[in-house]
Structure 1
Amino acid sequence: MSATAGRQGRNEDPPRFTVGVVGAGRVGAVLGAALDRAGHRVVAVAAVSEASLARAADLLPGVPLLDVPQVVGSVDLVLLAVPDEALPGLVTGLATVGAFRPGQVVVHTSGRYGIGVLEAAARIGVLPLAVHPAMSFTGTSIDLDRLGDACFAVTTVKELEPLGEALVLEMGGEPITLEEEDRPLYHAGLSLAANHLATLVAQATQLLEDAGVETPHRVLAPLLGAALENALRDGDHALSGPVPGGDAATVAEHLAELATEPQIRSTYRALSRATVELARRRGRLRAAEAESVLAVLDESADSSDSDGGHRGNDRPSDQGLDTADDLTDDGPTEES
């Protein structure tokens, strides 16, 4: 269903909030459309880049484009869907110019931060909410239906928890309450799973292409789908492959084949070490088998770790969770 159809077909009861979206990136535009579909009324959006302008036109048709302070000053509920690094400065700046007002609901979508980052606005008397959807976003109407499968981490003061949970339910998601001090660990867990999965898939794809596989995604999709399903269902009992099997010879062969791909080799070694430790703690790997695999990994480390030039070029993958951080959006105040 398109965003336009959602707007036309929604319940015509009077909306409870007027909403302003700051950051029409993949997350902001979708959540704005979800709130609109739920019966709230999005009346202003801030968007700058061509991609964000197109996204706003598609998901929030007819909503006026305004400067950020104008968006904030004209609504009951402000949705701040901006990158983590931009959020503190944005909140402080808006508070300094008097854009917020007492009683206004201010929601940010960062996974990293709780409501502490909204302190400058809270001193003015806004109602602070941190609402983070644990979901990868495309920035299209497809995401509106996918919200029904997503959990949203809600952090706020006790008396506002019902409001945060209600907003999540209205958007179609499942609210989970998270304490302020637990946000960084929560965010690290999501990043480890989702962001690093994209890196892992990219590296595996490269190896299959180098091996002559013409359609690596076709090969990987059912394998990864089953592996993920098994891991979520069975936990560490789903461990498989040469490492938990104590097959040091196969591990050594893999590392030899990866000698010309030092970054991928480093990933393989790091994940193999973690798998050894997990399998050993769970009783899946005997001590002697674990030691034989670790010896192979240590031996391979001697050559690769001495390559100072390579290590200086290591960079994290740019492929990420377009989660609500995007996981949240991709620019200073939106997707650039």
Structure 2
Amino acid sequence: MDESKKSGESARPAAWTPPEPSALRVGFIGAGRLARALSLALQAAGVPVVRVASRSAASARALAESLPDCRPGDPADVARDCDLVFLTSPDALIAGIARAVPWRPGQAVAHCSGATPVAALRPAAEAGALIGGFHPMQAFGADPGAALASLPGCTVAIEAEPPLDALLHALARRLGCVGLNLPPGARVRYHASGGYASQHVHALLAEAVRLWQSWGATERQALDALLPLLRGTVESLARSGVAAGMPGPVSRGDAGTVRLHRQALQAVDPEMRDLYDRLCRRGVALARQAGRLDAAAAEGVERVLDAPPGP
């Protein structure tokens, strides 16, 4: 049974017509980085944000003061005064908020978590509200201006039933985002995919920085050299796709360079070399997929990866 069937849809009103986005009264429970970026963007797009609550009263006040006609309060105030409530609290708190807040028919509740099931909002559905998920696939930093600028063009994963799905898609378009219908059960895989394009990039660059530091360079020197390379790689990905755009010795079957890399990495840290080996094996498969490597060249690289990383 999918999440929507488990979430109490029988308690919904027989008909619910969402207001036009410009007539919505939107509220936020949670006043962190995502709430700041999303509320400012909605307000700039002509969607009124009228209430905000947070575990930190100071954070709620600060966010409310940055928005015209917005007042801080507690979660019950947000539920009472708003047509659409976004839950932008930490994931671990979403289910508890859903249980504790007095929801009502004729409103909608959407959490902005990438990984939490929409079924966590079941108590709101049992009270007659429509429930859904609205997750922008973007990393939001501490600078509100930069976070706001990063929203247009990003994908927003939307998981909701009609008519809430149409409203959430309309809001995504207002923000200049691309709405994506996310089927029930795909949420955690979708969120994990974002880790590869964001969180894990940091981990990989940390390995590269360690190599620079091994000869006395600083992190800043390493990043000044590596970030232009990363930007070029992203441009190549956008133009050519994942497999066809892959650069480097694996993609051209340069087994000799791969052997030298392994020897150097083994001398710095065997675990670093092991990670390199695993990534190279994935790279061989990608290069084969793109027709960049024939069977003989791929086998040559794999033989090097199978061999002990000698001096």
Same fold (TM over 0.5): yes
| Higher alpha-carbon deviation: 121-130 or 138-147 | 138-147
Q: Which residues of structure 1 form unaligned runs of 5+?
A: 1-12, 303-336
The alignment status of 1:170 with 2:146, answered yes or no, reads: no
Give the direction of change, closer, same or farther, for the CA distance of 1:50–1:66 in structure 2 (3 Å limit).
Answer: closer
**Would the aligned equivalents of 2:157 and 2:180 in 1 still touch at CA under 8 Å?**
yes
Matches within 5 A, 1:252-291: 252-259=259-266, 260-291=268-299
The alignment status of 1:102 with 2:109, answered yes or no, reads: no
1-side partners of 2:124 and 2:109: how far apart? 8
Counterpart residue number, 2:3: none
Q: Deviations over 1:256-303 (max 9, x none)?
A: 22223244323312211100112123332222332232233233589x
Give the direction of change, closer, same or farther, for the CA distance of 1:200–1:49 in structure 2 (3 Å limit).
Answer: farther
1-side partners of 2:132 and 2:28: how far apart? 14
**Would the aligned equivalents of 2:136 and 2:157 in 1 still touch at CA under 8 Å?**
yes
Counterpart residue number, 2:13: none
Q: Which residues of structure 2 form unaligned runs of 5+?
A: 1-19
Q: Deviations over 1:74-94 (max 9, x none)?
A: 322211012334323432x32
The alignment status of 1:147 with 2:147, answered yes or no, reads: no
How far 1:153 sits from its partner (Å)?
1.5
Counterpart residue number, 1:223: 229
How far 1:49 sits from its partner (Å)?
5.1
1-side partners of 2:249 and 2:282: how far apart? 13
1-side partners of 2:21 and 2:173: how far apart? 18
How far 1:63 sits from its partner (Å)?
4.0
1-side partners of 2:235 and 2:112: how far apart? 27
2-side partners of 1:296 and 1:134: how far apart? 38
Q: Deviations over 1:19-75 (max 9, x none)?
A: 221111111121112222233332322234599468626744774333333333332
Matches within 5 A, 1:121-160: 121-139=124-142, 140-160=144-164
Give the direction of change, closer, same or farther, for the CA distance of 1:14–1:128 in structure 2 (3 Å limit).
Answer: closer
1-side partners of 2:86 and 2:42: how far apart? 10
- Kindly indicate whether structure 1 or structure 2 has the higher relative contact order, using CA contacts under 8 Å at least 6 residues apart: 1
The alignment status of 1:181 with 2:188, answered yes or no, reads: no
User: How many residues are paired up?
Assistant: 286
How far 1:138 sits from its partner (Å)?
1.8
How far 1:14 sits from its partner (Å)?
11
**Would the aligned equivalents of 1:21 and 1:29 in 2 still touch at CA under 8 Å?**
no
Give the TM-score of the pair, scaled to structure 2.
0.81
How far 1:254 sits from its partner (Å)?
1.4
Counterpart residue number, 1:24: 31
Give the direction of change, closer, same or farther, for the CA distance of 1:124–1:54 in structure 2 (3 Å limit).
Answer: closer
2-side partners of 1:159 and 1:63: how far apart? 26
Counterpart residue number, 1:297: 305
2-side partners of 1:51 and 1:164: how far apart? 29
How far 1:234 sits from its partner (Å)?
0.6
Name the SS for the 1:141 alignment partner. Answer: helix
| Higher alpha-carbon deviation: 231-240 or 46-55 | 46-55
Match of 2:41 among 34, 39, 43: 34
Matches within 5 A, 1:40-51: 40-48=47-55
Give the direction of change, closer, same or farther, for the CA distance of 1:273–1:90 in structure 2 (3 Å limit).
Answer: farther
Matches within 5 A, 1:222-261: 222-235=228-241, 236-259=243-266, 260-261=268-269
Name the SS for the 1:296 alignment partner. Answer: helix
2-side partners of 1:57 and 1:209: how far apart? 44
Counterpart residue number, 1:203: 207
| Higher alpha-carbon deviation: 185-194 or 24-33 | 185-194
The alignment status of 1:116 with 2:122, answered yes or no, reads: no
RMSD, aligned CA:
2.8
Name the SS for the 2:189 alignment partner. Answer: helix
2-side partners of 1:71 and 1:262: how far apart? 54
**Would the aligned equivalents of 2:60 and 2:73 in 1 still touch at CA under 8 Å?**
no
**Would the aligned equivalents of 1:19 and 1:44 in 2 still touch at CA under 8 Å?**
yes
Give the direction of change, closer, same or farther, for the CA distance of 1:77–1:158 in structure 2 (3 Å limit).
Answer: closer
1-side partners of 2:176 and 2:286: how far apart? 36
Counterpart residue number, 2:97: 90
| Higher alpha-carbon deviation: 173-182 or 101-110 | 173-182
